[in-house]
Structure 1
Amino acid sequence: MSSDSMRSADRTWSIGELAEHAGVTVKTVRFYSDRGLLPEAGRSAGGHRRYGPEALDRLRLIRSLRTLDLPVPEVGRILDQEDTLEDAIAGQLREIGSRMAALRWREAALQLLRDCAPEERVDRLRLIGAMTTPPSTAPLARFWRRWLPPRLPARLVSAIVEQAVPQPPADPTPPQVLAFARLHAFVSGDCRGTDQGQPAAHRSGKGYRPAVLYDGLVEAFALASPELRAQRAPHQGEALDCFVSAYAHACGARDTPAFRQGLSGQLAADPRIDGYWRLVAEVSGPSEPTPGAAHDWLRTALDTQTTRPAA
């Protein structure tokens, strides 16, 4: 008997008949029935399951949804109209994207290990093995929240962390995998910072107002970034004035030649995390200047100004 004739017949189907018309096994029909996805029309006198012809369309829809790799509970919510198919598809696309990103990172990591010198392999394997795949940026964000001076406003901390923490590339090269692994190792060490390991502006008792300083530095770095993209040599101008003003206002001083001279010496003596910024540049690529690169550009502009002989 054809499917159409079965639809028109005023009768119910056994579990075997439904399985036959749907092209599945009896075990499959029973599985979805037991989970409430395939309602029964009733039971036979002997207690066997019976299904109405509409069960065929529902079973075919269930199989189509399952071919999208949707979990059974999610299929049930779609059938009950608790979730939309659009939401389910979007969720699956996100999940597949995450899986593909993990595979791309794993592939690049394997290429890195394959192509390196034998004596480097164990060390690189240790670095890569310490990260998740794809890597999390949470350790980097924690590092910055420890390194920044305490009691900064939350919105300022968020802005700084967003600029300072690179996002893992979706399709990384082996060198980018290595750079991110080294970044992870850098921030996973003992980087809590002491008075000897922090810039002068972070230390208590120095008269600085860190929130004022970092608000100004964020603006100064934004002004310097176009200069770096254009590969212009460090020079005087709005970006440098904003940079110096941030330090002056943070400690209640005036921007004078003497202040600039003293600031140049202070910044030269401050601890640096150049290794971090170098690795960030390797991960992100040269197209977007890092805050570390902007800070170096501004420092060089300041040093050039303060060491230039007076006219």
Structure 2
Amino acid sequence: MDDMSGDTSLTIGDLARRTGLTVKAVRFYADRGIVPPTHRTATGQRRFDPAAAARLALVRTLRALDVDLATVRRVLERETTVAEVAAAHAEALDAHLRVLALRRAVLGWLCSNPEEIDVVHDLALLSADARRLLVEDFLTAVFADRPGTEGPARTLTPELPEDPQPAQVAAWVELAALTRDPDFRALLARLAARQGDLRPDAVAVVRDRARLDLDPTSPEAAAVVAEIGAVDLEYLEAANDPRRERYLTLLALINGWDAPESVAAELDWFLRAAR
């Protein structure tokens, strides 16, 4: 501010009042060369030009946004731009928000499932990369990298959204546990291996033509079975395993798809009628 000698330079106190920073903070930035003084008085007090106030205002804003001091210095020295720093920090913040959303969903799920606390770090809080690797390992075990299985593999791939709901987290935990079950893997591997040798719509045919209104032991039911024709009963028994249908239900919930239509009643009826 002006004094009797006409000096218009600013003291540390002046900068603190202009920027809203504390005197201690202004002194900190001055000591580290963020706002170098233009000169010193005869008594050794530092003096700053008006541009130092604008410089400190920018520093204050960037630090409030958690920009580290080294990056602040690079902005002030024009080694990078505010826009570039803002873009990088916005991207980092988006990633952090995705992590927070997952944690919030996990906490919401734990409110209703406190007994499942042991699986939180094991399954619920896996990173996106860890989830991908778990699923890839499962699908490799099921399809054994056979040619032409890319499409079916995609239809069995869960993709937990970046901001999942607690119900989706619960579904993921249950599905992930299923994928690590050796018996379930073997079941789907058997189904996948035999699909190429069967009419691809075997389950759909049974679903569409089963007659639940008929006693499966009746002659009328036998006629329906004969009309459907030869179907691999071992394959249908495997397809009727409740774990398979549960996996598809969980998969739909995780991916935001419509819930799959249950065919358990139709398969039960057909398997009884066919024997």
TM-score where L is the length of structure 2: 0.60
Q: 2:224 corresponds to which residue?
A: none
Q: 1:178 corresponds to which residue?
A: 170
Q: Which residues of structure 1 form unaligned runs of 5+?
A: 207-212, 214-219, 221-226, 228-232, 236-259, 305-311
Shift of residue 188, structure 1, vs aligned partner: 5.1
Shift of residue 28, structure 1, vs aligned partner: 0.7
The reply to whether residue 167 of structure 1 matches residue 187 of structure 2 is no
Q: What amino acid does structure 1 have at the position aligned with 2:28? A: F
Please report the RMSD computed on the Cα atoms of aligned residues, expressed in angstroms.
4.7
Match of 2:117 among 107, 111, 125: 125
Match of 2:129 among 131, 138, 147: 138
Q: Secondary structure at the match of 1:19?
A: helix
Q: Secondary structure at the match of 2:189?
A: coil
Q: Secondary structure at the match of 2:47?
A: strand
> Which of 1 and 2 has greater Rg?
2
Q: 1:90 corresponds to which residue?
A: 87
Q: How does 1:58-207 map to 2 (within 5 A)?
A: 58-114=55-111, 116=112, 121-122=114-115, 124-131=116-123, 133=125, 135-146=126-137, 147-148=139-140, 149=143, 160=153, 164-172=157-165, 174-187=166-179, 198-199=189-190
CA gap of 1:53–1:282, structure 2 versus 1, over 3 A, is: same
CA gap of 1:77–1:158, structure 2 versus 1, over 3 A, is: farther
The answer to whether the 8 Å contact 2:39/2:47 transfers is yes
The reply to whether residue 282 of structure 1 matches residue 223 of structure 2 is no
The answer to whether the 8 Å contact 1:143/1:191 transfers is no
Q: Which residues of structure 2 form unaligned runs of 5+?
A: 210-228, 271-275
Query: For 1:158 and 1:200, how far apart are their aligned partners in 2?
Result: 15
Q: What amino acid does structure 1 have at the position aligned with 2:163? A: A
The answer to whether the 8 Å contact 1:140/1:187 transfers is no
Residue by residue, what CA displacement relative to the aligned partner does 1:182-225 show, whole Å, maximum 9, x if unpaired?
2333345668967x8733766xxx9xxxxxx8xxxxxx9xxxxx
Aligned residues: 234
Query: For 1:140 and 1:161, how far apart are their aligned partners in 2?
Result: 15
Q: Secondary structure at the match of 2:177?
A: helix
Q: Secondary structure at the match of 1:13?
A: coil
CA gap of 1:269–1:113, structure 2 versus 1, over 3 A, is: closer
Residue by residue, what CA displacement relative to the aligned partner does 1:163-194 show, whole Å, maximum 9, x if unpaired?
7131335151x322211222333345668967
Q: Secondary structure at the match of 2:127?
A: coil
The answer to whether the 8 Å contact 2:10/2:47 transfers is yes
Shift of residue 55, structure 1, vs aligned partner: 0.6
Query: For 1:80 and 1:158, how far apart are their aligned partners in 2?
Result: 53
Query: For 1:197 and 1:158, how far apart are their aligned partners in 2?
Result: 15
Q: 1:28 corresponds to which residue?
A: 25
CA gap of 1:127–1:144, structure 2 versus 1, over 3 A, is: closer
Q: What amino acid does structure 1 have at the position aligned with 2:20? A: G
Shift of residue 11, structure 1, vs aligned partner: 4.9
